[in-house]
Amino acid sequence: MKQLHLICNAHLDPVWQWDWNEGATAALATFYAACEIAEEYDYIFCHNEALLYEFVETYDPALFERIKGLVKAGKWHIMGGWYVQPDCNIPSGEGFVRQIESGLTYFKEKFGIIPTAAVNFDSFGHTQGLVQILSKCGYGGYICCRPMPAFMDLPANYIDWKGFDGSSVKTARFDDLTIYTNDLGDAVNAVKRKMKPWNDQGEEIAFALWGVGNHGGGASRKDLSELAVFMEEQKTEGVEVFHSTPEAFFAASTPQVEWDAALQPCFVKCYTSIARLKRRYAELENKLLVTEKICSYADAEGLYDYNFEAFDDAQKRMAMVQFHDVLSGTCIIEGEKSSMQKLDYALELLDKEFTKAFMGLCRDYECAVPLKYPIFVYNPNPYAEEAIFTGDFFLLNGICSDTEGYEFSVKRDGEDVPFQIVKESSCINLDRSKRLAIKTTLNPLSMTRFDVEVRRGTKRFLDRSPQTEFTTKQGTKATFDAATGALTSFTVDGKEYLKGGAFTPIVYDDNEDPWGWHMRTVGKNYTPATCEIPLRVIERGDLLTTVESLYTTGKSDIRVAYTLYKDFDYIDVTVNAYWNDPGKGLKLAIPVAEMGKFVGQTAFGIQTFTENLEECSQRFVGIESGDKLLTVFKDGTYGCSLEDGVLYLDLLNGSVYCAHPVGDLPIVDDQRFNRYIDLGRHEFTFRLELCDKAAAERKAAAFTQKPYALNFYPHGTGERHETPAVTLSDGTVSLSCFRKVDPDTYMVRLVNNTEEGRACGCTVFGKTIALDFGKFEVKTLLYKNGALTEQRSMLVL
């Protein structure tokens, strides 16, 4: 007999065309209505998203207790288990794990339940990296609804979804006109319609999502009464229809078709919309991971008390902002504003903990002597790598003179270290606030001290003579067009990798829709911005040179600056945009000389992309050249494409808040003022480098989680804390997280983001374990009571 599992839900976006507070009131109303119906009728109400349950627990404790009773009675099913339904493209692999952890921890603590079937009904596409994460977080099934068939044709709606590492999870894409809901009182008609695709594909076991969503209560009395009649009618047709759960459906069924790719594309402008929020989200992700590392290290040294409450609070705020209508950029302006507040609140929490740990690690070092300024640097990465970092300090006295200034030397353990004076943030024309770029090999995942010695000398003047060609000590060459400011040549080992002017600002025509309905590429009528102030030198010294050009287009101004290093074969690029052109978007164009695979980083994996289509990449995107990768590392930008030999990086689009096509109506009323999302001031950072493909993951971590330097005056006796907390023997394996997870246990998560197996030794607090990684494998280790062990699960609940 065929089976049809009816899964009743009341899909609720906690923020979208409303702000979070209205989302909370809708959750209370929805859950109250669901309770009333569930106490009266014999059916199962299914709902996910721990945040909504937290709303109820906080604002209506009596209702929360009723729900707990229904859960125990089996009439209310805790579904999915995630904190919210996130955007499933932009979060890092670690970001997804924390989303799941925050949700499952809550449901385990409050209900004693850990769901084993995940649901993301409304998320706009799903990275293939999710498969390994789902599998190693205890999930055997996954339900999604997007991308719809109009965006992506699957061989079946029920698939065995394969991950980068070879893991798999049963995955059902549910397709229907009303997707996961139905109109009030129309459940039977909706269920009949929703059965058809499954019947057409010959499935013996199917399910249907039904219930009134977004400010609705799920089931209605009319729906349940009519469904009871429908169930009896279906028996005569040889179909058993019953109220069910996602877990029950997956337990009863097995997909017959494999799928070894991402579930993409879907709403491709979401990779760029609300650009400033995406960058702030990336900042929080990195800040959380870096702060966990330093605090765990300082805690183990007895110099800091790990604040689990602060980390939990910050992680939940991060999980909230992952919500698919926020991080994707499709909410109203009030949603953006309140979500930015949550990000800023989390960053403030973490900054306080970071500073306590940092100062704790520095405090016992030997006191500074007069006219020496100590700079302490924390390296958040588990490798001893040569790098350049900047350190700031404020001199005791300032000098205002045309001829006299300060001179410096930098020492580490009494030995001179190469450095260069660079422009500080302050614009006061007084020789007092100083910034030094310092080159050294930092200790891995630990603290390093430097001492700056100061003396009076001759005032430094910048050599502003023009320069368009640069060569590193290794022979890598970069050439610029003085008139256009574009990077025209990037030659490594005698081979040219560019074709034309790279990092050229490109303006394009856009529409008001931040989703990009019916789009597969973004933008038309590409026009290069006009170079108003050609290439000029703004930094020059023994370590680096920085040049910049200024561009204009319409009412907008753009600055592109390049920092080139004498000892390193990469170029750092900073783009400042002062954007004032509604309806216009901004990209960077990088013409490439050689075409290979177009690839980009995704959650715990590297995705091969399709040319001439909009794609979503995380911390790097690149073009393969043999075993090398012409790589652009990036921090907080995601949209990209490869069109006719040009790599485009999307920076801003021309959309308004929360508008998309509806029938044949105009997208917006153009006879009134509309709020365009990305107007205003923006800053973007990139790094261009030819690197080994296997090293890209590690280099991306180094680019986005840079060393932190602080002028700190210790008052100790000379006791040092420079023993690395975590080190890795293989430069390919990357550290995803190092954190304390309970009073006795530290967690280390490692990633092999390559197609090749790897052997790697990992040392944690002096204890070493030998590890063999499969392709794209993620391993989670626990250090407890002096023992270091591997566990399959990514979670400690």
* CB distance 65 to 32 below 8 Å: no
Q: What is the mean pLDDT of residues 431-444?
A: 95
**Confidence label for 203 from pLDDT (cuts 50, 70 and 90):** confident
Q: What is the pLDDT of residue 722?
A: 72
Find the distance separating the first CA and the last CA of the chain, reported in whole Å.
39
**Percentage of the chain lying above the pLDDT 90 cut:** 91
| Per-residue pLDDT tens digits for 451-468 | 999 999 999 899 999 999
**Enclosing H/E stretch for 650:** strand 646-652
Q: What is the pLDDT of residue 179?
A: 87
Residue 217 clears pLDDT 80, i.e. is over it: no
Closest CA to 470 of 537, 556, 555: 537
Q: What is the pLDDT of residue 494?
A: 95
* List of residues 6+ apart from 390 with CB closer than 8 A: 422, 435, 436, 437, 438, 709
Residue 13 clears pLDDT 90, i.e. is over it: yes
* CB distance 774 to 755 below 8 Å: no
Q: What is the pLDDT of residue 214?
A: 80
Counting every residue, how long is the chain? 797
**Confidence label for 296 from pLDDT (cuts 50, 70 and 90):** very high
Q: Kindly report which listed range (50-64, 66-80, 146-160, 200-214) carries the lowest average pLDDT score.
A: 200-214
Closest CA to 657 of 120, 238, 277: 277
Q: What is the mean pLDDT of residues 559-585?
A: 98
Residue 263 clears pLDDT 80, i.e. is over it: yes
**Confidence label for 595 from pLDDT (cuts 50, 70 and 90):** confident
Question: Amino acid identity of 325?
Answer: D
Q: What is the pLDDT of residue 707?
A: 96
Q: What is the pLDDT of residue 198?
A: 80
**Confidence label for 200 from pLDDT (cuts 50, 70 and 90):** confident
* CB distance 424 to 414 below 8 Å: no
**Confidence label for 731 from pLDDT (cuts 50, 70 and 90):** confident
Residue 23 clears pLDDT 90, i.e. is over it: yes
| Per-residue pLDDT tens digits for 111-138 | 999 999 999 999 999 999 999 999 999 9
Q: What is the pLDDT of residue 22?
A: 95
The encoded tokens of residue 332 equal: 């109203």
Q: What is the pLDDT of residue 385?
A: 83
The most distant pair of C-alpha atoms in the chain lies apart, rounded to whole Å, by: 99
Q: Which residue has the higher pLDDT, 716 or 209?
A: 209
Q: Which residue has the higher pLDDT, 664 or 314?
A: 314
- DSSP state letter for 160: E
**Confidence label for 216 from pLDDT (cuts 50, 70 and 90):** confident
Q: What is the mean pLDDT of residues 418-439?
A: 96
Q: What is the pLDDT of residue 723?
A: 82
Q: What is the pLDDT of residue 281?
A: 98
* CB distance 210 to 7 below 8 Å: yes
Q: What is the mean pLDDT of residues 435-455?
A: 95
- How far apart CA 647 and CA 621 sit, in angstroms, is 9
* List of residues 6+ apart from 248 with CB closer than 8 A: 5
Buried b (16+ CB within 10 A) or exposed e, 706-722: bbbbbbbebeeeeeebe
The encoded tokens of residue 711 equal: 């002028």
Sheet (strand 431-441) strand order: 386-399, 431-441, 419-422
**Confidence label for 718 from pLDDT (cuts 50, 70 and 90):** confident
* CB distance 748 to 784 below 8 Å: no
Q: Kindly report which listed range (477-486, 510-519, 560-569, 713-722) carries the lowest average pLDDT score.
A: 713-722
**Confidence label for 56 from pLDDT (cuts 50, 70 and 90):** very high
| Per-residue pLDDT tens digits for 498-515 | 998 999 999 999 999 999
- How far apart CA 748 and CA 735 sit, in angstroms, is 7
Q: What is the mean pLDDT of residues 10-24?
A: 96
Q: What is the mean pLDDT of residues 748-765?
A: 96
**Confidence label for 436 from pLDDT (cuts 50, 70 and 90):** very high
* List of residues 6+ apart from 670 with CB closer than 8 A: none
Average pLDDT, the chain: 95
